[in-house]
Amino acid sequence: MTDQSSHFPIDYSPLFDYFDPFHRISQEAKEAISAICSLSKIPKNKDLQSIGHTCRTIYFVKKGIARIYYYKDGTDITESFAFENSLIARVESLFTGKPSRKGIQVLEDSDFIGISSPLLFDLYDQFPDIERLFRKIFESAYVETVNRIESLQFHSAEERYHALTQESPDFLKRIPLKYIASYLGITQVSLSRIRAQR
């Protein structure tokens, strides 16, 4: 089966292992979350979510890599990447309910656990611990985003590239450089130049 959602029995343990450090929730709460999840297997280079649709699913990357991208004057720009054991969602659409100009594309054959966001938000009323869990998850994502601004605002492209190679060497091995360039806010040509410097 490819490019399909499934309701076959799914192993949710990686998801709950990911949740645990943020906030512990009851077994009952875990079951409530499981009930609003489904598995998606997406082949390399396909879109998990297409440009123009409103984000109503929060994805957990079980296997593979994905990126959020959009077009600016016809050129493809990568906003962010997500690796195994992390969440990915177009938050500006998730939290506003407006259609997103961004899409999510898969860079390797990947498996996702999709959590329905409208159903999740309904669970918040019933399970305050689920609300607290996701509050903490998004607070943490917010902090990462603030740190990223600092990087874009006043580090040179070269500094940003070298920081990336140190923090996540995996990036360079598994992601095409053309995607890394726009993620760093520069062109492919500039990135090649930086790489050639030593």
From the list DNA, a second copy, none, pick the one residue 141 interacts with, judged by a Cβ distance below 5 to 8 Å according to partner type.
a second copy
Contact status: 91 vs a second copy (CB under 8 A): yes
Contact status: 137 vs a second copy (CB under 8 A): no
Question: What's the one-letter identity of residue 31?
Answer: E
Between 22 and 171, CB nearer to DNA? 171
Binding part of the chain for a second copy, among 1-9, 15-23, 138-146, 169-177 by CB under 8 A, reads 138-146
Helix (H) / strand (E) containing 163: helix 157-167
Binding site for DNA (CB under 7 A): 156-158, 176-178, 185-196
Contact map string, positions 97 to 136, toward a second copy, x by CB under 8 A: ---------------------------x---x--xx--x-
Q: 88 with 138: CB under 8 angstroms?
A: no
Binding part of the chain for a second copy, among 17-25, 32-40, 42-50, 147-155 by CB under 8 A, reads 147-155
Question: What's the one-letter identity of residue 183?
Answer: Y
Binding part of the chain for a second copy, among 29-37, 53-61, 109-117, 148-156 by CB under 8 A, reads 148-156
From the list a second copy, DNA, none, pick the one residue 157 interacts with, judged by a Cβ distance below 5 to 8 Å according to partner type.
DNA
Contact status: 142 vs a second copy (CB under 8 A): yes
Between 1 and 149, CB nearer to a second copy? 149
Q: 38 with 7: CB under 8 angstroms?
A: yes
- Looking at 73-181, which runs of residues are DSSP E strands? 75-82, 87-88, 103-106, 110-116
Q: What is the DSSP string of 119-145?
A: HHHHHHHH-HHHHHHHHHHHHHHHHHH
- Looking at 43-89, which runs of residues are DSSP E strands? 47-49, 57-63, 66-72, 75-82, 87-88
